[in-house]
Amino acid sequence: MKIENNKSIALSYVLKVNGETIETVNRENPMRFIFGQGYLLPSFEENIKGKKIGDTFAFELKAADAYGEIDNDAFVELSKNIFEIDGKIDETLFIVGNVIPMHDSQGNLLNGTVDSISDAAIVMNFNHPLAGCDLDFTGEVVDVRDITAEELAELQNSCNHSNCADCNCCG
């Protein structure tokens, strides 16, 4: 059986950035997902499509095909007073590199990383942590199988498209 849309996939892999290992997923506890459902970067899926159990892979995703280049517009200066709770600011939040969960103007949750701090403001970086990075993957296909009835039902229940035939999300 080959990797294709709506198959349950399990992978082991090592992810390196600039030669440094930043993530390792072993065979005993592989990453599991349903192929073609947008769980992974499209360029990642393209590199494993058609592989079978036991096949290995090694590929690089350039930043533009991964999480994008660093977007300077994603650096936002925010007044410290927006972080006040009951008139007080928790100064322990304001450490360069800290990730702070926030909401955008539509109420969507997003993470910002403290980039710099001044007396009155904080510059938050809302780029993905791997933006601007080329990603080097090596790994192995641990399992490829048909999805179960339960997995199919979960897919169908999570679909929010008006016409599934448009996206082929439900089979």
d(CA 137, CA 56): 10
pLDDT tens per residue, range 88-147:
888 888 899 999 999 888 988 999 999 999 988 999 999 999 999 999 999 999 999 999
d(CA 166, CA 43): 21
Give the DSSP H or E segment for 139: strand 135-146
| Mean predicted lDDT score pLDDT of the chain | 89
Instruction: For the domain made up of 7-67+131-167, give the CATH fold.
Output: Chitinase A; domain 3 (3.10.50)
**Which pLDDT value is given to residue 134?**
97
pLDDT of 168 over the 50 cut: no
pLDDT of 67 over the 90 cut: yes
**Which pLDDT value is given to residue 163?**
45
pLDDT of 5 over the 90 cut: yes
Whose tokens are 């997003």? That residue is 110
The top-level CATH class assigned to 72-125 is mainly beta
pLDDT of 57 over the 80 cut: yes
Q: Where are the domains of the chain?
A: 7-67+131-167, 72-125
Average pLDDT over residues 42-60: 97
